[in-house]
Amino acid sequence: MKRLLAVFSLVFFSSFAIAQNRGLPDFTELAEKQGPAVVNISTTQATRGGNQAMPFPFDENDPAFEFFKRFIPRQPGGNTPREFENKSLGSGFIISHDGYILTNAHVVDGADEVTVRLTDKREFKAKTIGADKRTDVALLKIEATGLPAVKLADISQLKVGEWVVAIGSPFGFDNSVTAGIVSAKGRSLPQENYVPFIQTDVAINPGNSGGPLFNMRGEVVGINSQIYSRSGGYMGVSFAIPIDVAMEIQNQLRLSGKVSRGRLGVVIQEVSRELADSLGLSKPMGAVVNAVEKGGPAEKAGLEPGDVILKFDGKSINSSADLPRMVGVTRPGTRSVVQVWRKGSMRDVPVTVGEMLDERQASARQSRGSKQPEQAANRLGLVVSELTAEQRRELKMSSGLLIEEIRGTSGRADLRPGDIVIAVISKGATTDVKTVDQFNKLLAQFEKGSSVTLLIRRGDMQTFVTIKGLNSGN
């Protein structure tokens, strides 16, 4: 009997082990074949300044780690020379045999020199063909031929739950392989209006930025770009830019070195169930227009606040995040048809799509005029200044505060220097922001740990930003 039980146990556990092994994917072939097309990217940026200590840009507890940007080594203490170098690390992948490489825009942002290292240890100085901050995609070129290149996937075939593999250089460790599954598709993130992100649980860390995300057929489905974390490290939530979005951007960068996007000139928000009921819609869908830019394409076409945009050029708007993406990929000057719900009826509105200013143009418009004297940061960690007369005139704004600087751990990744604070929203009430003193008094009314919503203008677009967990104040 004992012998029979032993034989039975052996057979059972062997079968169990075989069944388990059958259910686990094998990544060895993928890593071996695709690894040579993945590259390490290092950049240097020369900085000039006085003989004073240069603080590290952020510490390990800074929310900047929530969406990692660049891997910047900590500078040694003491006095710094008048000229020094910031170094950063990232990843990329070869998309053509003659040396075109895709990576993240933030990996090469501000770099004076970009070096690409292959798996065979060859190094090349790379030229940045162009970078698009709005999608975080950059195109590089090295002078080489006969290089290994990746295969691109049909993103429409990607399914939630399937295995994916990341290859990159986390913390500078070349060709590191991590694996996981697709957690969601078409994920919208704050202030990222033009990318329907792929969410995964693949372990991504600083240095993985710009590296490829593969399916099990060895085809690239996305560019690893961001993580979500409350600790600064990987917490099981990472995001990749879909490869079809990235390739459309690189096509424009290769042709002209920049990206042209369409715009309507509207401020929109999601249609909730309650809002849908009040507007007479059968279900929550589309994007409701909160405001229309004076003189913009939407106003010229006759769009009004309160309109719900249901379709753009015949394509349904399932959520408000769909509209900026659809309009953004439309060539400026294109005559399109917008289907709107207005006062209980449907109507088609022809509109000529305008062109969105690039970030340099928008920043130039916002930064003209002299800066206000240096100020202390407020409860949000923001240093703000009142708009000059020239800025108000050029931006066609009667009031607002320009974010000059974001300091300390209160500096959120969803706010940027150059943003303009228009209003504070709390408990259904909207208060326009007119002066620094008034803004600080508004913030002082909030209890520690509470949340505050700001209406922000960035370039020619407006958005709502909710900041959670206010500190105790200054």
> Which sequence positions are flagged as catalytic?
106, 136, 209
Q: Are 140 and 96 in contact (CB under 8 A)?
A: no
Angstrom distances, CA of residue 412 to CA of 230, 362, 421, 435, 440: 12, 21, 14, 22, 17
- Rounded Cα distance between 344 and 159, Å, is 37
Kindly compute the dihedral angle of the four CA atoms of residues 244, 107, 226, 63, in this order, to the nearest 10 degrees.
-150
Nearby residues of 75 by Cβ (< 8 Å), 6 or more positions away = 54, 56, 84, 86
Nearby residues of 240 by Cβ (< 8 Å), 6 or more positions away = 197, 198, 200, 213, 221, 222, 223, 224, 225
3-state secondary structure at position 163: strand
Nearby residues of 440 by Cβ (< 8 Å), 6 or more positions away = 378, 379
- Rounded Cα distance between 455 and 463, Å, is 6
- Alpha helix positions (H), 350-421: 359-367, 389-395
Q: What distance separates the 2 farthest-apart alpha carbons in the chain?
A: 96
Q: Are 87 and 44 in contact (CB under 8 A)?
A: yes
What values do phi and psi take at 184, rounded to 5?
-165, 160
**Nearest CA among 50, 210, 221 for reference residue 114:** 210
Across the strands, what pairs with 456?
Answer: 421, 463
**Nearest CA among 204, 203, 220, 200 for reference residue 212:** 220
Angstrom distances, CA of residue 226 to CA of 58, 122, 216, 315, 325: 17, 28, 22, 28, 19
- Rounded Cα distance between 117 and 317, Å, is 43
